[in-house]
């Protein structure tokens, strides 16, 4: 089963999601929901999907960064982003702790804002305390692109979109990004498009 992905402008994307109880997590409806979220994420395709993106204000996200996605990148880009494969897993009721607040800047997109991208500063290392699909406590320590994915998905559970954190002058269509910026770093972008006071 696959869901339609809710698009920006829907109120559910702007409201904090509610936590789930152990009984809810272990119940058949949530277990079926997790499987459907996995299928929806893979079909999109994407590296993460939060329940609000399918219209449900619940603190659940699924994450998976497949090797095939990374193999499509030039090796130097994968290295710069510290991007490595991440197996499928579920994050429920997460608490995010920033372990290295020094931001890294990369273009980022979202399945709920298709066709657009922007530079988003994100912490380079995070710790997430959460429950898995078995309602077991899990601690995740992540860096690089995996840390970015976690921050992006946990933002969804708080009613936050990447456009709330983006450096606004970098906002671009995916088409123009592919034509002009795909192979350039954020530093190269800023050399060609000087930031204004809101982007400093």
User: Residue written as tokens 């702790």?
Assistant: 97
Q: Are 91 and 110 in contact (CB under 8 A)?
A: no
Beta bridge partners of 174: none
b/e per residue, 133-144, with b = 16+ CB within 10 A? bebeebebebbb
DSSP labels, 165-197: TS-GGG-EEHHHIIIIITTS-HHHHHHHS---G
Beta bridge partners of 196: none
153 carries an active-site annotation: yes
Q: Residue 82: which region, alpha, beta or left (left: phi > 0; alpha: psi -120 to 50)?
A: left
The residue annotated as part of the active site, out of 64, 108, 133, 153, is 153
- Residues designated catalytic: 153
């Amino acid at each position: 089963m696959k869901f339609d992905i809710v698009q920006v402008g829907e109120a559910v994307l702007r409201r904090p999601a509610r936590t789930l109880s152990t009984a809810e997590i272990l119940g058949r409806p949530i277990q079926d929901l997790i499987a459907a979220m996995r299928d929806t994420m893979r079909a999109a395709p994407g590296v993460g999907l939060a329940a609000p993106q399918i219209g449900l204000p619940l603190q659940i996200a699924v994450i998976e960064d497949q090797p095939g996605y990374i193999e499509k990148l030039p090796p130097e880009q994968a290295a710069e982003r510290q991007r490595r494969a991440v197996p499928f897993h579920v994050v429920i009721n997460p608490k995010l702790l920033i372990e290295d607040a020094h931001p890294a800047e990369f273009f980022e997109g979202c399945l709920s804002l298709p066709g657009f991208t922007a530079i988003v500063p994100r912490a380079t290392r995070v710790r997430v305390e959460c429950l898995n699909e078995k309602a077991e406590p899990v601690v995740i320590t992540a860096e690089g692109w995996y840390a970015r994915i976690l921050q992006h998905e946990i933002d969804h559970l708080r009613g936050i979109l990447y456009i709330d954190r983006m450096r606004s002058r970098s906002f671009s269509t995916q088409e123009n990004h592919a034509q002009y910026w795909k192979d350039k770093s954020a530093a190269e972008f800023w050399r060609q498009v000087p930031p204004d006071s809101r982007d400093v």
